Structure 1
Amino acid sequence: MSGLSHQFLPFGSREAATRFATQFIVGGLEKALEGKATASLMVSGGSTPGGVFDALTGEVLDWSRVMIGLVDERWVDPEDAASNERLVRQRLLRGHAGAAGFLPMKTLDAAPGAAVADRSQAYAPHCSPADVVLLGMGEDGHTASWFPGSAGLAEALDSQAAVAAIDATGCPVAGDHTARITLTGQAVANAASAILLIFGEAKKTVFETALTASAMDKPIRYAIDKLGPRLTVVWAA
């Protein structure tokens, strides 16, 4: 493992943290585009990254050479309010960033497991490695859809594929949306750079607890260890 050599950057406001995260992502994509034809950005859903998405829409770079994908997705219709795809289409794929490509995770299959082979094939070229990954974290220590106690967690962390199915039944933070598809441990761990954006004292405490927990109890620990210095943690109260 890479050890706990990530950067932890506290900011005085969520606005300042959002500005830094935006520039971190832009810088990572610009660096990638200097050396290859296309760059990849994998993003998380939830309320925390919304401001970053809004800010990215105003950033001038060659978005037509950027592929945006998801870190994870709930198995809901893309028009559903709980859909990460819907969030990205509404908040990120606009303005300058509207020229970017987008790679959905949700398919017409009845369940995530049936889509794993297809979505792994689609995501693999953009995760070998992903140039920038924007992670979030829940108050149970999950990131992506790696929920503690979820069915498929160990397989998702160990898989050589790009995506995996998760059944989060019985995991309180997953709420009603227990059928999930997610990037695997390898897909996240291979990233050229990653940023974890977290807000609030409670999540800071969870993150600190995760530093001495197991990856099965606090799955964010897997990302912390595997990414090492390629992970920047950005926090604001």
Structure 2
Amino acid sequence: MKHELSRFETRDAALDFAAKFVAGGLESAIADRGRADFMTSGGSTPGPLFDRLSGWDLPWECVGVGLVDERWVPLDHDFSNESLVRTRLLTGKAGAAGLIPMKTAADLPQDAVTDRNAAYEPHCAPADVILLGMGGDGHTASWFPRSRGLEAALAPPNGETIAAIDATNCPGAGSNTQRLTLTGPAVTSARMALMLLFGNEKLDVLERALASDPLDMPVRHAIDKLGPRLTIIWAP
């Protein structure tokens, strides 16, 4: 079945809806089993959503927060997803949530796969709510088109939760080419998924992705596999 696409006239309206969506999913999971797992993307788009969620009145001490992917940069780097989550989400009431870091002290992301797989696997079996984004090249998570490690990340041989990606020569990755990412099964098994898109260009990218090979525009893999569990929110 197809994903849902919800259009809003303003970004504020889209973000308000997104905050209710995420909070509702977490509240439902906590009511069902006493805890919830929220996997979130970084980048520029989620910041205002994190600001809204940080003050949301729910039992955050029952929530585990993990990352969809991470650049292999220090925590104080401007492009650290963990830093964004710490400073914009895990403040206020949401400061009681538990964070599952993805970046480690290992020199290379490949050296951290085993350790982070053990840390993330219990929280992605399945995750209750996952927040995705989409780049102009059709990537989501750190699934960059034709990147080294992409095929193994989308379909890990033993169902692993974490994979290393080398995005060298992938323009969408910029200078931060070494990454850890959730794998295809970890993302697409989520109970609820939200993709937040802003601007007309992103609608064009989405349309192209739905007609493309997933190795060329990997966001299609997530869209196809999540199906009706995915809600795409768009605003101009």
Please, what TM-score do these two structures have when normalized by structure 2?
0.98
Unmatched segments (≥5 aa) in structure 2: none
CA positional deviation for 1:84: 0.2
Q: What is the rounded CA distance, in whole Å, between the counterparts of 1:20 and 1:50 in structure 2?
A: 15
1:118-138 deviation per Cα after TM superposition (whole angstroms, max 9, x unaligned): 101100000000000000000
Deviations 1:179-200 (A, max 9, x none): 0000000000110000000101
Tell me the distance in 2 between the aligned counterparts of 1:74 and 1:12.
32
Please show how residues 87-236 of structure 1 align to structure 2 within 5 Å.
87-159=84-156, 160-236=159-235
Alignment of 1:44-63 (within 5 A): 44-63=41-60
Count of residues in correspondence between the two structures: 234
4+ aligned runs moved over 3 Å, structure 1: none
Question: Which residue number corresponds to residue 81 of structure 2?
Answer: 84
Deviations 1:68-107 (A, max 9, x none): 0000000011111110000000100000100000000000
User: Per-residue deviation at 1:22?
Assistant: 0.5
Structure 1 distance, partners of 2:213, 2:59, is 40
Identity %: 56
How high is the TM-score relative to the length of structure 1?
0.98
Please state how far the C-alpha of 1:139 moved relative to its aligned partner.
0.2
1:19-58, Cα deviation, whole Å (9 max, x unpaired): 1111000000011001112200000001111110000011
Give the distance between the partners of 2:198 and 2:43, measured in 1 at CA.
12
Structure 1 residue 16 and structure 2 residue 13: aligned? Answer: yes
Instruction: Give the partner amino acid of 2:207.
Output: E
Q: What amino acid maps onto 2:106 in structure 1?
A: D
2:140 is aligned with what amino acid?
A: T
SS at 1:33 equivalent: helix
Matched, 1:38 2:42: no
User: What are structure 1's unaligned runs of at least 5 residues?
Assistant: none
2:195 alignment partner, SS class = strand
The CA distance in 2 between the partners of 1:37 and 1:114, in whole Å, is 33
Cα distance in 1 for residues equivalent to 2:3 and 2:223: 7
Root-mean-square deviation (CA), in Å? 0.6
In structure 2, give the amino acid aligned to 1:76.
V
